[in-house]
Amino acid sequence: MVTPGSGAGRVRWYAPSFPHRHRSSHQGDTPMLHRPALDLRPVLLTALLLAFAASGTVAQPVTVCMPAFFMDALADLEDQHGDLRLVGIDDDLDPNVCDGLIAGYRGVEQYLTADSKLRWIQSNSAGVEGFLEIPDLRDSDIVLTNAKIIQGPEIADHAFALLLNFTRNIKAFNAQMPQGWNTDRALPMIELRGKTALVIGLGGIGTQIAQRAAAFGMTVLGVDPKDIPIHRDVAYVGKPDELDDLLPRADVVFSSVPHTPATEGLFGARQFELMKQDVYFINISRGKVVDTDALVAALESGKVRAAGLDVTDPEPLPTGHPLWTMSNVTITPHLATISDRLEERRTRLLRDNITRFATGRPLRNVVDKQVGY
């Protein structure tokens, strides 16, 4: 648990009310005499300050380091929390001044020195596998948080954009635009209502996908290793060992799992073979959860009717790779997270977590570094 130094030694002293002692003469209306109360406040305050100083718990500033472009939107937090200091990352920054760090995983090693006082890292993305490949971070007490909550809505929208591109044959009609109005109207149009969606990974992104699938009138099944509470949009949630049983029931398979050792290569030849004929496969998680050669074979055989991919393995795909030229594949360059409101949500999350860090409260989106999400 993060226990920032801010506020730990701050003394907030309230003066006690000392009652006056009354001298009673019992002589009619003679006014009572009042002895002024002894004002012990300066003495007590001095004693408290000396005690805190001796114990080493006098409040120390909490320094959170971040990319400079976040500074303007968050600068007012310093006024709200007197012990908080925000520092923009530049070439002159001493990494050892940072108690908290907002960053991507590249270059994080420089903050993990023997003199480091780093206690918290906020990832800019939902996926954190890059951080967890750094042993000094993975095996440390540093708390790692991610951006899974803020990226769910737009990634789910993107997943359905990839799906609708095929079910409504947008890609094919777009290719026929040079022919004008005289296009091939016999292209199939697939209705989603009544179909079954299998969402593999019901975290911050998967639950948003499930919500949209239910809104389209689909029956939603899920797979997740956690005990997911009853969800109005999901008819059934199975454990990972039930995946093979659920795959044959799905008309659309959404991959929204994090990339961990347990999920690498999750979708291989066996899994594609278990899927329904003409299934749609949508991957907006990580490329390495899919065996690319197995996916190509399933697409070529017609087992998988179409694939919408925001991620690939390798990434980017090399020039000449068969996925680039398949008419039943749409690839977007790992940008499903982008939207016109992303920075608004990101700033809201950063403000919340920085405030929590500065005041010693539990952080949001804490990653289990041993599990990978």
289 DSSP 8-state letter: G
Q: Is 286 noted as a catalytic residue in this protein?
A: yes
How would DSSP label each residue in 180-203?
TT---TTS-----TT-EEEEE--S
- Quickly tell me which residue has 């009717």 as its tokens: 305
Q: How far apart are CA 270 and CA 351, in angstroms?
A: 45
Instruction: Yes or no: say if 258 and 129 are a contact pair by the CB < 8 Å rule.
Output: yes
Concerning whether 315 is annotated as a catalytic residue, the answer is: yes
Looking at 300, 315, 343, 344, which residue is catalytic?
315
Q: How far apart are CA 203 and CA 193, in angstroms?
A: 24
Q: Is the Cβ–Cβ distance between 223 and 168 less than 8 Å?
A: no
- Three-state SS letters, 233-287: CCCEEECHHHHHHHHHHCCEEEECCCCCCCCCCCECHHHHHHCCCCEEEEECCCH
Catalytic hit among 231, 334, 351, 364: 334
Q: Strands 279-283 and 196-200, how do they pair?
A: unpaired
Task: Name the residue type at position 243.
Answer: L
CA distances from 2 to 92, 210, 364, 366 (A): 27, 33, 12, 11
Q: Catalytic: which of 85, 158, 286, 305?
A: 286
Task: State the Cα–Cα distance between residues 133 and 114, nearest whole angstrom.
Answer: 19
Q: Which two tokens stand for residue 12?
A: 């907030």
Respond yes or no on whether the N-terminal peptide bond of residue 314 is cis (omega within 30° of 0). Answer: yes
Q: Which of 296, 226, 284 is nearest to 259 (CA)?
A: 284
Please give the positions annotated as active site: 286, 315, 334
